[in-house]
């Protein structure tokens, strides 16, 4: 089996200069755990929901919220993203993809076609879903 057979084709991207407020809204709207950061059509980084939670104040949307807390929402994607994301080609075997995830201790792999365009994302949840179907 290849990555293309089980990857998530619905991808969500944000720009390098999008604010964390916008990215938080994207996560709420799409219920994903990863967004891809792009510049034009070029993949620049990945932001996980955990990256976002570590970067914004825990007092946002509470009675204890201050101006300083709100300022954390004005940080930009490029300030918190994981740079130099590891990606795989759509014809990569699932075994190789799993090895890559484990070797680099990451939870998602952007998937590209032969032209380098992003065509999907492979996560550990996709792999679990596929193992249950087999």
CATH number at residue 53: 3.10.580.10
Res. 134: pLDDT tops 70: no
Q: Which domain holds residue 116?
A: 3-133
Res. 94: pLDDT tops 70: yes
User: What are the pLDDT digits (tens) for 36-61?
Assistant: 999 988 899 999 999 999 999 989 88
Residue 115 has what pLDDT? 84
Helices (H), ranges, the chain: 3-6, 20-30, 49-55, 67-71, 77-80, 94-104, 124-133
Closest Cα to residue 7, out of 96, 124, 105? 124
| Number of domains comprising the chain | 1
Q: What is the pTM of this model?
A: 0.87
Mean pLDDT taken over the chain: 92
């Amino acid at each position: 089996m290849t990555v293309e057979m089980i990857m998530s084709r619905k991808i969500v991207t944000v720009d390098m200069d999008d604010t964390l407020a916008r990215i938080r809204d994207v996560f709420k709207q799409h219920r994903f755990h990863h967004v891809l950061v792009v510049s034009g059509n070029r993949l620049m980084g990945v932001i996980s929901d955990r990256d976002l939670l570590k970067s914004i104040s825990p007092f946002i949307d509470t009675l204890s919220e201050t101006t300083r807390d709100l300022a954390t929402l004005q940080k930009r994607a490029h300030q918190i993203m994981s740079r130099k994301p590891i990606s795989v080609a759509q014809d990569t075997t699932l075994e190789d993809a799993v090895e890559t995830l484990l070797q680099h201790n990451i939870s998602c792999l952007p998937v590209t076609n032969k032209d380098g365009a992003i065509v999907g994302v492979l996560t550990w949840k996709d792999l679990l879903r596929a193992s249950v179907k087999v």
